[in-house]
Chains A and B, each alone.
Chain A
Amino acid sequence: MIDPRLADIVKDVIGDDALELVEHTTAADVDGWDSLAHINIMVAVEEEFGVTFTSDQLGRFRNLGELQQYLAEQAS
């Protein structure tokens, strides 16, 4: 189950409210999730969740589940 706040960000940036997002979803699975959309998503996640990714992290998460797990760790 993907956090609705995270899912909304991806849906807004991609412009598709009907996207099915699960933990193993990767950029390659989603039409329109290109490098530009990726940046927009990461910026929005930083704002929404109050985190600051390192340069390395910005490109490292392999799927939504990994990103979500990282966010959960930061929140705890």
Chain B
Amino acid sequence: MSDPGTTIPTVEGLDGKGALRIAKDLAAEGRAAEARRWLHHVVDRSDDLATWSGAAKLLPRLLEAAPLSRSARVAVLGSSTTAQLATLLPLACARTGLHVEVYEAPYGQYRQEVLDPASALYAFDPDVVVLALHDGDVPLPLVSDDPATALADAARPIERLWELLGQRTRATVVQLNFAVPPEQPLGHLGPSVPGSRQRLLLELNLHLPAVAPPHVCFVDCAGLAASVGTRTWFDPRYWHLAKQAVAPRCLPLLSRHVGAVIGAALGLSRKALVLDLDNTLWGGVLGEDGLDGIRLGEGAEGEAFVAFQRYVTELQAKGVVAAICSKNDEHLVRDAFARHPAMVLDLEEVAVVAAGWDDKPAQLRRIASDLSLGLDALVFVDDNPVEREAVRQLVPEVDVIDLPSDPAGYVRALADYPYFATTRLTDEDRARGRQYRARAEAASALAEASSLEEFLDSLEMVATVEPVGPANLARVAQLVGKTNQFNLTSIRRTETELADLVAQPGVLAKAVRLRDRFDDHGLVGVLITRPVDDALEIDTWLMSCRVIGRTLEHAMLSRLARRAVDGGYTAINGTYSPTPKNGLVADLYPRLGFEPVGPPADDGTTRWRLAPSALSVRTHVRLDQLAADTGKAPA
């Protein structure tokens, strides 16, 4: 690239090496933020260890010049050589928007590091601990006489490590599960023999997640190894030479996935899949070929499109929100979904349908706005390389998945994309598509109502308040981890840390659910206060972006004020800590009648105070009194 100042390099057709070259050129010109973005393409487009190594070497100075807003301390502990994983993880994590500092435990010392309370691991104070164990470290004979005991003996030391890490740190543990080597003396008999090592390793992979506490999540190395082939995953030469339990050539793949799971654990997964229609969900062009002319269902190509639609619906089932972004006449699109017999995707389950003649970057901005999501929550899928490139250049926050020219490869292209990762499957995840659709519908109801007040009343909103506890901790932790916009303090806590906080005397921790005439939005708000002298200090106050603008915050504060008065507190204190994404609530406290306490801090943090008896706000949300009075959710 001779003159990057005037030529905009295109991503289409570029490999990881090319992306690294461009990143280096941009870095040399001092364009650190752009250079960092090109390193994302290295992560996406390369499985080559040298390219990844080069990109990882370039990353630190780019992060210094163009910092990321989220950061985390990641400890890597392993039963084999983890040096490359530790080196590549910052690159893999930067791809998800996370700046990580890595601590690598000394070779083979993972048990000692966890057991010794004075170890360097604990001094490092990790947010995430990656436990990279491998099959050879699991003490199993070829055939055990007592399979149940052998399994328990293999699992217990690992469970003990989790337990100690849970007691001594606030870290999320990312546990790598066990790939099973292809060389098995028992051959076909292996899985049939109850005490065989082969079978017990498989059982261990099932047993560990079943007994894992909430602060542990998994990377499915067995699945990754199967996808590349265990003969590639295991390379005895590098094991004998340098104790590499995973073949070095697979380390970029492993790092990419560990990075995605770390990102998911910290709430940085992508949320919405935005789909083109013509030649993406079916073959042909609806506007030209007509309903009977598009290829869907019949023939190899038609079946491939059906398979792709089915995969999309299965992603929806795990909580990915689907939206449509197509240059088409909307009535033709709706007709096709309603009438085509082979259509799998249900338009009712699609949150937003943007079908029109605006350019796709503009449609994507509208979709993000309708869904109240950031552009960095969207993933765009289109068969047309020109559209993909336009989106990459004009809305670079949106992730773009390249589809191959053959639709038979679409499912794999989507499945290989790792940033829809989730670490838990909650009821809210499963219902999310319907909820986002309801939100988009409510947005259009707003267009019809003559006043905002009238609109809000027409929603017939009812909130129920419940204490934060074991029943809702997973969802509360998810909100605490990923809520960016309506979040006053943006204090991120794991499930364990939340459980500890809630157990402290005097702490009031409430979660709120909201339903309206369109939908039940589920658990969408969290408000946690601590007593400080004669005041209640708001430690955490956040709301899901799904329900912003509903006056739910007024209802939450009203209820807190009542509790404060009943408890004899004379003030409610709040802090607003600015982040790049929470400008929405910068003036929340003054709007609610809080008085400023002192001038803003250098970082923009402001402190506020309210006499609870003086609160005067109007809400359009009815509090479910039964639930509010007993503090329990209704049956």
Residues of A at the B interface (CB closer than 8 Å) are: 8-9, 11-15, 17, 35-36, 39-41, 43-44, 46-48, 53-55, 58-59
Contacts and interface: CB of A to CB of B under 8 A. Distances in A.
B49 A43 contact: yes
Given A9-B50, A36-B84, A15 B248 contact: no
B248 A39 contact: yes
Interface string B19-39: 010001000000000000000
A35 B249 contact: no
B49 A47 contact: yes
A11 B54 contact: yes
A53 B48 contact: no
Contacts of B58: 15
Given A39-B248, A55-B237, A58-B237, 5 more contacts: A8-B17, A12-B51, A36-B81, A43-B50, A44-B50
Contacts of A44: 48-50, 53
Chain B: interface size category: 20 to 34
Contacts of B244: 39
B244 to A, nearest CB: 7
Contact of B24 (A17, A41, A46, A55): A17
B54 A13 contact: yes
3 residue pairs, one from A and one from B, having the closest CB atoms = A15-B57, A12-B54, A44-B50
Nearest to B48: A47
Contact of A54 (B24, B48, B237, B248): B237
Given A12-B20, A47-B48, A47-B249, A40 B53 contact: yes
Contacts of B124: none
Q: Secondary structure at chain A's binding surface: helix, strand, loop or mixed?
A: helix
Nearest to B28: A17
Interface string B44-80: 0000111101100110000000000000000000000
Contacts of A13: 49-50, 53-54
A21 to B, nearest CB: 14
Interface in B273-311: none
B241 interface: yes
Nearest to A45: B50
B593 to A, nearest CB: 56
28 contacts: A12-B57, A13-B49, A13-B50, A13-B53, A13-B54, A14-B57, A15-B57, A15-B58, A17-B24, A35-B242, A36-B83, A39-B84, A39-B238, A39-B241, A39-B244, A39-B248, A40-B50, A40-B53, A41-B50, A43-B49, A43-B238, A44-B49, A44-B53, A46-B249, A55-B237, A55-B240, A55-B241, A58-B237
